[in-house]
Amino acid sequence: MTFNLSPVVDAAPSRLPLLAVIGMHDPEGADWGRLRGLQYSRLARLSFARLAGHGMAALLVLQTFATRVHPVALVAWMAVLVGVLISGARFDRTLLDADRRRIGRREMHRQTVSSVCIALVWAIPMALFAPFGNAVDRMTLWTILAMLMTGMAVTFASMPLGTVLFSAIVGTVSIGVFLLEGELTSAVAATAFVVIVTVGAVEAARTFLGARVAEAGMADKSEVVSLLLREFEEGDADWLWQVDPNRRVRSVSPRFAFALGEDPEDIDGKSLIQLIAGDAWEKGHFHPSLHDLAERLKRRESFSNLLVRVTLRGSNRWWELSASPKTDDNGAFVGFRGVGSDVTEQRESAEKIAYLARYDTLTGLPNRLMLNEAVGDAMGYAEKWRSCCAFLMIDLDRFKAVNDTLGHLVGDQLLAMVSERLKLILRDNEVCGRLGGDEFGVIIQDASDGQRVEELAQAIISTLSQPYIVDHHTLYVGASVGSGVGPRDGATVETLLRNADLALYRAKEDGGGRHCLYEPSLHAHAEERRQLEFSLRNALDRDEFSVVYQPVVDAITEQVVSFEALLRWTSTEHGFVSPAKFIPLAEDTRLIVPIGEWVLRTACREAMNWPDNVKIAVNVSGEQLLDPYFSETVVGALSATGLPPHRLEIEVTESIFVRDGTTAQGTLENLMGIGCGVALDDFGTGYSSLGYLRRMRFSTIKVDRSFVQGAAKDNPESLAIVRAVVAMADSLEMSTTAEGVETEAELAMIRKLGCKKIQGYFFGRPMSATDALALFSPDRMARRLAS
């Protein structure tokens, strides 16, 4: 009968843990219950010997103190001792009769309690009887107790905790009595004896356990070896094979013959290479792995896990062979003997995993990992031939809009078409791959022709900007390209890729649809952006933001009907920072959410100082609308400031709906439900404007300034657009606001076209809260009415 002790066997060369030896801790993994059973069975078998020893020791104590201690006390002590010993013996006998193979913590705890009780009973003579005797009596009693400790160490050799507890309790009491009586020598001797007995007991138990562990380990190993041999003999995955000095198969095993698809008698004596080469044996075109096998057999050298491609009945498979040369009793070479297995499925799985690790499953192009390796190879080639290589990083423009509006299935088909177009425009020494998402990369191994990078970049932009037909949709996306030339723009793969990425970021920042070649100044630009982001994160705490207000007036009466709240930032480190610079940064870093909440509360609080008919318009970004708590933020701002909901107008742009139209529309409908207005800003400059008007009831449509200025110059297209917007807004009972009115001619034209409200420098630039409030002073109002 064997049991699992492998974790302990592994630790056997070192010392077993002390807590495990004394039975206070069972390490995980091993069958310690079984091991404790072996310990306890030996302990229980010596139960009678322990009882006899305790009886003889008790009689000696009675003899020693018969004339010095009252008989009643002696008899009472004797009775307690007998009771404790009988209780322990009955427990031992119960376990022996039950033939328990495993001992749990409960039984170990019971044995520990029994040992403690026996020790306490034996401590009574030294604590209570010895003071009535003389030094000789105490030494006699100590000798009796020392004999008991020694007996415990022998009979408790497998479980030292009983010896440790007995020696500790009895020894401590004895040492204390010796010290109280002034017998220092006896106390020191007793201390040394207790320590020696305790250490000896622990080491004896460790030896016992080590022997049991070693025995179990050997049994486990023998069982494992037997199991492996049985599996090899009974299984069908591996086979034994043997060849003679002429490399002809001999003693063909049934499984080897089955692997070849032949009968053992038919292949015995045939050439091994002929059997597994297939048609190559006749044609002479052997796979390199067969050449390798033949050479090893010829050189009579051992080999292990040699991968060989074999051809069986016209089908290629992969075998893994191991073998070693054999000699007879005279030392003469008699051939090879080894094992083999068919690993075709494993190899195919490994090849598939390797492919998935290096190629993009959607496009079939090399992925980021393989592109990085290819860039490294290109840089090595450039260094070897003192030339240069290039890496172009490509990002699709407007791809997210396609993905969000038409779904990921359409987006995936579009990416596959992009990859096909890229492959068509590349030369032999150029490789393209997909970095992830809508980012691609192209490597030019030899970029000695300085014009090739620019030429290829423009070809990529032009090719990828052509329309795509996907599921009956005509799609337009563009491409931005950033490039770096190695080793000039980066001596390592990481540096070259990072610099190409910086160039791509600059191309996107400049509006997209263009190529930007890396230049060192881009690092300064990136560092400036990093520093700006750091300052932006602290701007709210430093109270660096302010809100200015631009008036919106009635087109007929020219009375102020609302203000648009505009955010300004004056940084301690950077001075005045343009909103066009820090607002996109705030959106990229999601800082726009807390900043936008501050603007909203500030604007609502200031609006409470104006007349009740004057509204406040606050711009909201897509990041804010996608915040699940934005509606609560608006309600909180209105509640905290006391501003009625109908006086707050939320301004959004069309790009918000392109990003996540469903979420944005739901949030805006919630706000309109509590009475807030929603204005569509920069109308006509985005995507599918009429579609948004169909789905949502906006309170105001703001006509972009480009159409306003175009209409003032009698541009037919601008005039037609403005007229159409006004007519449509009137039919939908929406108000219209013309943005960017700066001259009297523009004002006249806008009035003529029928816009209800006007916003622009002609009626006021963005102003401070104080100046905005001054517009409503009695004198100012009187002058306005008089004019």
Last residue of a domain, one of 464, 491, 519: 519
Check residue 777 and report its DSSP letter. Answer: S
| CA pair distance 323, 296, nearest whole angstrom | 10
In terms of domains, do 345 and 363 share one? no
What is the DSSP pairing of strand 735-739 with strand 700-703? parallel
CB atoms within 10 A of CB 121: 21
Number of folded domains that form the chain: 4
In terms of domains, do 205 and 262 share one? no
| CA pair distance 462, 485, nearest whole angstrom | 21
Give me the residues of the chain with pLDDT under 70, please. 1-46, 91-109, 155-160, 208-237, 657-661, 684-695, 779-787
Tell me the torsion sign for CA atoms 684, 689, 693, 699. negative
Place of tokens 């609080």: 605
87, with CB counted inside 10 A (0-12, 13-18, 19+), is middle
**In-domain check, residue 232:** no
| CA pair distance 255, 683, nearest whole angstrom | 78
| CA pair distance 635, 774, nearest whole angstrom | 28
For position 36, what pLDDT does the model report? 55
| CA pair distance 412, 401, nearest whole angstrom | 13
**In-domain check, residue 230:** no
CA–CA distances in Å: residue 341 to residues 92, 184, 320: 56, 78, 5
Task: Indicate the angle between helix axes 160-180 and 135-155, nearest 10 degrees.
Answer: 170
For position 236, what pLDDT does the model report? 52
In terms of domains, do 473 and 577 share one? no
**In-domain check, residue 338:** yes
Contacts of 133 (CB under 8 A, 6+ apart): 64, 65, 68, 141
In terms of domains, do 219 and 75 share one? yes
**In-domain check, residue 116:** yes
Q: Which is nearest to 129 in space by CA: 56, 217, 209, 61?
A: 61
For position 225, what pLDDT does the model report? 46
In terms of domains, do 502 and 574 share one? no
Cβ(622)–Cβ(660) below 8 Å: yes
| CA pair distance 226, 233, nearest whole angstrom | 11
**In-domain check, residue 527:** no
Last residue of a domain, one of 519, 546, 567: 519
For position 463, what pLDDT does the model report? 96
State which residues form the domain around 281.
238-349
In terms of domains, do 560 and 658 share one? yes
CB atoms within 10 A of CB 450: 11
In terms of domains, do 740 and 694 share one? yes
**In-domain check, residue 531:** no
pLDDT in tens, 462-494: 999 999 999 888 888 999 999 999 999 999 999
**In-domain check, residue 354:** no
| CA pair distance 643, 604, nearest whole angstrom | 6
For position 189, what pLDDT does the model report? 87
In terms of domains, do 382 and 402 share one? yes
Q: What's the per-residue H, E or C state across 411-471?
A: HHHHHHHHHHHHHHCCCCCEEEEEEECCEEEEEECCCCCHHHHHHHHHHHHHHHCCCEEEC
For position 157, what pLDDT does the model report? 58
For position 300, what pLDDT does the model report? 92
Q: What's the per-residue H, E or C state across 754-769?
A: CCCEEECCCCCCCECH
In terms of domains, do 363 and 496 share one? yes
CA–CA distances in Å: residue 355 to residues 360, 416, 526: 9, 18, 36
Q: The domain spanning residue 269 has which CATH number? A: 3.30.450.20
Cβ(125)–Cβ(141) below 8 Å: yes
For position 552, what pLDDT does the model report? 96
Cβ(547)–Cβ(599) below 8 Å: yes
Cβ(621)–Cβ(592) below 8 Å: yes
Q: What are phi and psi of 620, to 5 degrees?
A: -130, 135
Q: What are phi and psi of 327, to 5 degrees?
A: -130, 160
pLDDT in tens, 639-691: 999 999 999 999 998 777 655 557 788 889 999 999 999 999 877 654 445 55
In terms of domains, do 676 and 650 share one? yes
Q: The domain spanning residue 554 has which CATH number? A: 3.20.20.450
Q: The domain spanning residue 380 has which CATH number? A: 3.30.70.270
In terms of domains, do 313 and 368 share one? no
Tokens matching residue 23: 């039975």
Q: Which is nearest to 551 in space by CA: 485, 486, 495, 617?
A: 617
What pTM, to 2 d.p., does this model score?
Answer: 0.50
Q: What are phi and psi of 435, to 5 degrees?
A: -80, -25
In terms of domains, do 493 and 574 share one? no
Last residue of a domain, one of 289, 318, 349: 349
Tell me the torsion sign for CA atoms 392, 395, 396, 402. positive
| CA pair distance 140, 137, nearest whole angstrom | 5
Q: What DSSP assignment string belongs to 492-530?
A: SHHHHHHHHHHHHHHHHHTTSSSEEE--THHHHHHHHHH
CB atoms within 10 A of CB 411: 24
Q: What DSSP assignment string belongs to 115-181?
A: HHHHHHHHHHIIIIIGGGS-HHHHHHHHHHHHHHHHHHHHHTTT-HHHHHHHHHHHHHHHHHHHHHT
**In-domain check, residue 90:** yes
